[in-house]
A and B are shown apart, each in its own frame.
Chain A
Amino acid sequence: MAAISFKRSSLEDFNKYNSLLVGNEFTPPPADSSYDLLETTTLTSSTSSVTFSGLGSYTDYKHLQIRMVTRSTDSTGDDGVVAQINSDTGSNYAYHGLFGTGSIIGSYAVTSASNPLLFTTANANNATDSFGVGVVDLLDFSSTSKNTTARNLGGSTETNPSIRLTSFVHLNTSAVTSVTLLLQSGTNFVAGSRFSLYGIK
């Protein structure tokens, strides 16, 4: 068998793409894009959930990222943005979080969960134009040999401020074909909330 020289091998033109994931150290993206906008939903009226479906058509990509700007109609206290994979509403998730509220820094772990918490968002207790924000990385989403994992950085300021670094696992090895985002309170996202889906090669 003929030897392949290093000059012709992939060692010569490797790229680091992991920096496009939130929370990692930074490396500028390559000129030929490996980070693409796939879909965006901006709500024109209050809505209880947003679903990105048909993700099976994005298997050209290795990872997904969802960038969110959200506000809840809830007024009873804090409200959180939660996720469901493949419409699974069972207690098939586990999640961890590290959070700061300004006066408290803490962590939590939840098993047998049905709605993994991503971050706490702004709600009707906050100024009218105040929104929470979150960036979720859904890793190796089309794999069928491992449970699906995701991580998030998100938060909001004002009445109940918080910043959260979280991760969750869906205890299922199926490829991810849909992601649903909804509110812990069961209320609605307000008009103007924005959800954008990106693919990372």
Chain B
Amino acid sequence: MATPTYDLLDSTTLASSASSVTFTSIDQSYGDLVVVIDSKGTSTTAIYSYYNSDFTNANYSYVNMTTLGASPSSNTASNPFVGFEGSSLGQSLSLLHIMDYSATDKHKSYLCRNNLPDLLTQAIAGRWSNSSAVSSVTLQLSSGNLVSGSTFYLYGIAK
């Protein structure tokens, strides 16, 4: 039997700048989470996504592919990079899929698509090296504050 899903679980629109946004006490009855970030800003600073307050970058890894102007590239690194804050020309959009977030038998893998339309388009596969269920997601910049007017939405997808 079909089960309606893709449910809005939480959302935040920043009324003033903030060091981070955290979704806590996440409902564990879904299979995947989708986080939608529409980030304003001017510096294109990296956005990180930490789980369960584990702020140790070495516990995260990712591989990306990026079109930056006419120069495509691919990189790996050990941190929870999922996108950028906006540039002076426009906001940045990130669509983050955290797969099997409530499972306890696997590391948490994620996919992300970023668009900073005046600068780049990007795709990311990443992993948090921890098998715990994800009960909180913290979004913050690698340095500095998230900018007022940025929006953050959290959805649950049943499995």
List residues of chain A with CB under 8 Å of any chain B CB: 20, 22-23, 25-26, 28-29, 33, 35-38, 40, 42, 67, 69, 71, 98-105, 127, 129-135, 153-158, 161-163, 165, 192, 194, 196, 198-199
Chain A at the B interface: SS class: strand
Q: Please indicate which of the listed interface residues A37, A132, A156 has the most CB atoms of chain B within 10 Å of its own CB.
A: A37
Does B4 sit within 8 A of A, measured CB to CB?
Answer: yes
**Chain B residues engaging chain A, CB cutoff 8 angstroms:** 2-6, 8, 31-32, 36, 38, 61-66, 72-76, 93, 95, 97, 99-100, 103, 105-107, 109-111, 113, 115, 123-127, 129, 131, 153, 155, 157-159
Give Cα A199 to B3, complex, Å: 10
23 contacts between A and B (CB under 8 A): A25-B93, A25-B115, A28-B8, A35-B5, A36-B2, A40-B159, A100-B73, A102-B63, A105-B65, A129-B106, A129-B107, A131-B99, A131-B109, A132-B109, A132-B125, A135-B111, A157-B63, A161-B63, A163-B63, A163-B74, A194-B31, A196-B159, A198-B157
A38 touches B2 (CB 8 A): yes
| B109 partner residues in chain A, CB cutoff 8 A | 69, 130-133, 156-157
Chain B residues whose C-beta falls within 8 Å of the C-beta of A198 in the assembled complex: 5, 157
In the assembled complex, the Cα of A194 lies from the Cα of B158 at a distance in Å of 12
Report the minimal beta-carbon distance from A130 to chain B, rounded to whole angstroms.
5
Given known contacts A22-B113, A69-B100, A131-B107, is B2 in contact with A37 (CB within 8 Å)?
Answer: yes
User: In chain B, what residue has the closest Cβ to A33?
Assistant: B4
Q: Which residues of B contact A69 (CB under 8 A)?
A: 99-100, 103, 106, 109
Taking a contact as CB atoms under 8 Å apart, the answer to whether A105 and B72 are in contact is: yes
CB of A19 to closest CB in B, whole Å: 9
Shortest Cβ distance from B124 into A: residue: A163
A69–B131 Cα distance when bound, in Å, is 14
In-complex Cβ contact of B106 among A25, A40, A67, A131 (8 A):
A131
